[in-house]
Structure 1
Amino acid sequence: MFYVSKILQGLIINKDLYSSRRIYIPIPRFYMFYNGLKEMPPKEAIERAITECIKEGILSDFLKKNRAEALEMNWYEYNEELHLKSERQIAYEEGIEKGMERGQIQYILRMYKNGYSLNQIAEIAVKTIEEVQAVIEKEESVLIKN
């Protein structure tokens, strides 16, 4: 996808991006190369696939013209370990954020139950009065349902 976006960027860079007219771009076509079960470094596998495709007449015009870009795809190879690490980090950060939000909600409710005014709560919690009211009303509606 990085490769495609780079190519499309090159096609539209000289167009008037602020015009109200549509900018027509070609429909991307994706191909997958398979070179058997033998393990080889990704860069070598891509080089071999490109060479074989050109020899066999498969996308030969395209690959002759865009060989360097096709080789560059090696840099964007999917890395499962990196992907999973990134997903875990995002989930961790989202969990921290939700925990902090829940803590702030509990803090707002505790101040309200202890007699603080909406203005005081909003100032301490760095929220608007409307946000504080929404938290309190939501909690009260939950209590009424139970």
Structure 2
Amino acid sequence: MKLLDDYILQTSTQSLILKENTASYASNREFKDGMFRLLFSEKRAALELLNSLEGTERKDEEKIEIDTLREAAYVFRVYEKIVSDRELYKEARCPLPIPRLYVLFNGTKDKPLETVQHLFGGIKPGLEGDGPMMEAAVKVINVNLHKGHPILKRSPTLKQYAQFIERVRSHIKLDGMNRDEAILASVESCVKEGILEDFLRKHGSEVINMLTGITLEELYEIRGEEAEERGAARVAKEKEAVVKNAEQKERKLIKKLLKKNWTVEAVQELTETPMDKILEIQAAIHS
């Protein structure tokens, strides 16, 4: 299982190492990973997520530190930040906070609601067949919306994130949109429906630009241009219909006058229609 950036939520007593495991293809994985990291880089959202994972009710956002690291080295780097050099040289045992490691899975593969993954489980046995002397267990939580994990009830922000991702997938699978179109449509509809509204209003340009290369402002400008184009096309169509209707009425009047034996000169004087058009209608009557 490919593990991406690490999200370390650190308090005075605990360091929670959090990862998001995403879908299989790279561009979407990078998009979701970037959005997830941006969403939970805000301390309020990070504290909410920490409380939902741990079943706690911590209130002090300022005690949380957020770091992003890569690979197994994160465990040692976190402790490196916590333990001073002086502590390392003391004979007394240095108390360390309990590490808790989580992976939040929202990929498309069917996975259980919760599993435990052993970080060093993939290490090859040594010459004597012995395994690693160090181990770390990571709790993998399936946060896909349809799985209904209780954590989604405890963390409204995480639930809305899951709703957003589910909406993107639905647009692709059911509406036949490509990935870019699905994300643009999801951002617009979620803002209207209050799903991650504040986050998307604040960071919508960044979220969209992560994948499409355009900003939210440019998107709205494009949408405005499309609306203007549709409006102009509608006006042109209506104008064309009015002109066509007027021509039909004019032709009908000329035909009626000619049948009453009006001269073409008299018809032209009354209707101000070009003579060649009157003669054309006259020829059609006698044909």
State TM-score, norm by structure 1. 0.46
Of Structure 1 and Structure 2, the greater strand share is in 2
Higher helix share: 1
Bigger radius of gyration, 1 or 2?
2
TM-score, scaled to structure 2: 0.26
